């Protein structure tokens, strides 16, 4: 799966810029970021956008709707370094004109314009990326 250059660069910056203190403990050099603590990330970051798409895929796989949904706006994003990267996302998703049976590429799906079919949800996704294992998990997908 493709994770995007933003994720790779972010992971490299966070995980490789580690120094040992005199007590032998690791800490991040020249940074207030500490592994295990969530930090805010810009919503236009490629890693955030990729994580939001994984959350939407999970929603679509669990949904009984005949139409696919896709992210319309990422309201807030946090990332936490925990044996990979865990994204906590607040995302608005909307119903598209694409049916689940005929389309797999959400980039080619426009949002519904028909008032009776138009539907949006606000979702909270937790997306855990483990790039070195090429693994993605979405343990939390809550939409209302």
DSSP state at residue 52: H
Q: Is the pLDDT of residue 30 over 70?
A: no
Where are the extended beta strands (E) located within 4-134? 18-20, 26-28, 39-40, 67-81, 85-99, 120-130
Give the Cα separation of 70 and 57 in Å (integer): 8
pLDDT, tens only, 94-136: 999 999 988 778 999 999 999 999 999 999 999 999 989 999 9
pTM score, two decimals?
0.75
Three-point CA angle 23, 28, 30, nearest 5° = 110
What are the extents of the domains in the chain? Answer: 5-143
Mean pLDDT confidence for 32-38: 70
CATH number of 5-143: 3.10.450.10
């Amino acid at each position: 799966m493709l994770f995007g250059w933003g994720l790779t660069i972010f992971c490299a910056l966070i995980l490789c810029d580690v120094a040992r203190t005199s007590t032998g403990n690791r800490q991040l050099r020249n940074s207030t970021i500490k592994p295990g603590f969530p930090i805010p990330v810009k919503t236009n970051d490629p890693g955030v956008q990729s994580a939001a798409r994984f959350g939407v895929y999970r929603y679509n796989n669990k949904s009984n709707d005949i139409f696919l949904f896709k992210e319309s706006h990422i309201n807030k994003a946090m990332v936490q370094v925990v044996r990979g990267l865990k994204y906590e996302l607040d995302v608005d998703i909307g119903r598209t004109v694409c049916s689940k049976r005929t389309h797999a590429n959400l980039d080619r799906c426009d949002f519904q314009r028909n008032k009776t079919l138009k539907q949006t949800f606000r979702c909270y996704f937790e997306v855990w990326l483990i790039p070195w294992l090429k693994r993605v998990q979405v343990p939390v997908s809550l939409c209302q």
